[in-house]
Amino acid sequence: MTLFLNFLNKFNKNKFVIFFFLGIINSFIEIIGISLLLPIFDILLNNQFNENFQKITSFFKISYDKENYLLILIIIISIIYFLKLIISLVIVYFNQIIIEDLKISIQEKVIKNYFKRSLLSHNDDSIAVQIRMIAHESNSALYVINNLLNVFIEFLLLFFILIFLLLIFIIIF
């Protein structure tokens, strides 16, 4: 990971930090969305209100019957998943910005390496072959970096979901 962070310049590091925090926010919103599904399952399967939800509704002075309870939960879930959608789109946007900036940086480094080659090696390949080689090498590196960023976000989400499940297991037992 330190090798990757050293590879990024200062501008990309700031974007990567924003990308990281958006991933954390996305994970929290996903956990909130999952936790809001539990009361819906409770009322649909057991046909009773959750005690914690009754405390929350009495605190906010909301009347709750079965229809209002489900309506409130569905509205809250819709809002949460809409926020998750917006944050996911922002994450994809920052992912693409990081990738495009890295693409330019990688292509500049590959071109500098090609300029360091001897004149005889330049004569062996045509300009089209050299340009294709630069594009192929930079796209290969970007493919790996893009997958690394996606895996990073997914592991972050998995980590928070496992913590959430562990906390539920501790609370229940």
Whether the model pTM is above 0.85: no
The beta-carbon contacts of 35-40 under 8 Å, at least 24 apart in sequence, are 35/164, 36/73, 36/76, 36/77, 36/80, 37/77, 39/69, 39/73, 40/70, 40/73, 40/74, 40/77
Domain assignment present for residue 5? The answer is no
* 45: in domain: yes
Domain assignment present for 121:
yes
Counted domains in the chain: 1
Tokens of 27: 């994970």
Q: Per-residue confidence of the chain (173 residues) as pLDDT tens digits?
A: 555 555 556 556 777 788 788 888 888 888 888 877 777 777 777 776 666 666 666 666 666 666 677 777 788 888 888 988 998 898 888 888 888 887 787 777 777 777 776 665 556 666 677 777 777 777 787 788 788 888 888 898 899 889 888 887 787 76
Q: Which domain holds residue 99?
A: 10-172
On whether residue 109 sits in a domain, the answer given is yes
* Residue 149 maps to a domain: yes
Residue 38 lies in a domain: yes
Q: In this structure, is residue 1 part of a structural domain?
A: no
On whether residue 2 sits in a domain, the answer given is: no
